[in-house]
Structure 1
Amino acid sequence: MIAMQYKIKLPDSYDMNTIRHRVSANGEKTDGFPDLIFKAYLMSEKYDTPESSNEYSPLYLWKNNEGMNRFIFNGYYDNILKTFGWQKINIGVPSLVELYENFSKSKFALEIEKEIIEVSTMKSLSFSQNFKECTGIVLIYNPDKWKYVEYYFFETLPENMLFFKIYKILHLSM
């Protein structure tokens, strides 16, 4: 498996309904895309939480690099280039993936970024939170940057999420 995400930071004055319309018109194009486990069309808005800004940040989980390569180099990613310009694509290795029966009903994603601190003996990464209401959890690491990201997916957002990075899921392709 391989994960990828591009985080497009948008100005505070950007009309986020433009993103909603974009996903509504085009989101289904990645439904059933070869080798795609899921694509979560993630969006945050500056007023969602104190941690939020206007951002469009699709998250992909691929079975292998073949589907990712097809997406990037066979014209699909060109839509991002045309609309938002050259974007850095973050790549990571999924360490833990649990998608539950109700994952397709996910409407929110919580993201926690962490550093992998230098140690003399490596140990498996683990999740820092324990939410019972999750529809899925994904932990992705990048040894090039020694960082990892925890994703928690929800159908309805639990309370007390004020200081977490929360994304709305506009569409979920599987």
Structure 2
Amino acid sequence: MITMQYGFTLPADYDMSIIDRRIRDKGPLLDGFPNLGFKAYLSARKGEFGSRDNLYAPFYLWLKPEGASDFLCGPGFEALTGAFGWPQVRTWIVWQAEISTKIAAARFATREILPTQPYAPLADIRGVEGAEAKADVATGGALASVSGFEPTSWTRVRFRLWRELPEIGEQTQAYRVGHLSLPRP
């Protein structure tokens, strides 16, 4: 599995209803997309939940890398880049992905990107991250919890989906979930 996110920082005076409409209209098009664990259509408004910017930043969990490749080479991504430009697409190898059967109720998301110290014991870190992801869903109120690792920039990602937004730290980016594309049953 891999996880992926790209984002667009929009002007402070940008009409975010354009993003809301885009999510409403385009979101269902990825429902049931091959090899997709989920796609969370995310947005944040400047000043909301401590966000410094207006953002459109979808987050994906891919069950197989071919799903990401098919999406990035497909007409939907081509249309997106035609409208907003060519984004930097960040990817992480998934260490742990826990998904509640109630994931469809997600209304908020949080994302942390953390540095990994040089020569840190990666197996130990992976174990801690995995246990935390499991606990987030089992007892912490998260509807999904994904942790991943990227060895080019030595970063880790912690991504969570929530029904209610939890208290967040200064380094956490919070988003609204406008649509959640899931596999077809």
Give structure 1 regions of 4+ aligned residues with deviation exceeding 2 angstroms: 49-52, 119-131, 160-164
Determine if contact 1:49/1:162 at 8 Å carries over to the other structure.
no
- Over aligned residue pairs, what C-alpha RMSD do you find? 1.8
- Please state whether the residue corresponding to 2:104 is helix, strand or coil: helix
Report deviation, 1:162.
6.2
Partner of 1:124: 125
Task: Provide the C-alpha distance between the structure 1 equivalents of 2:109 and 2:152, rounded to a whole number of angstroms.
Answer: 24
Give the share of equivalent positions with the same residue, in percent. 28
Does the residue aligned with 1:136 lie in a helix, a strand or coil?
strand
Q: Quote the residue 1:133 is aligned against.
A: 141
* Higher-helix-fraction structure: 2
Separation in 2 of the partners of 1:134 and 1:120?
28
Whether contact under 8 Å (1:109, 1:167) holds in the other structure is yes
Q: Pick from 135, 153, 177: which aligns with 1:169?
A: 177
Comparing 66-75 with 106-115, greater Cα deviation is found at 66-75
- The 3 A distance-change label for structure 1 pair 92 and 162 is closer
**Structure 2 residue aligned with 1:28:** 28
Q: TM-score, normalised by structure 2?
A: 0.86
Larger deviation: 37-46 or 131-140?
A: 131-140
Query: In the alignment, is the contact (CA less than 8 A) between 2:92 and 2:157 conserved in 1?
Result: no
Alignment check: 8 A CA contact 1:44 1:52 kept:
no
8 Å CA contact 2:107, 2:161 repeated in 1 = yes
Rounded to whole Å, the distance in 2 between the matches of 1:120 and 1:111 is 22
Residue correspondences, number:
173
Structure 2: give runs of 5+ residues left out of the alignment. Answer: none
Report the counterpart of residue 15 of structure 1 in structure 2. 15
Distance 1:16-1:162 versus aligned 2 partners, 3 A rule: farther
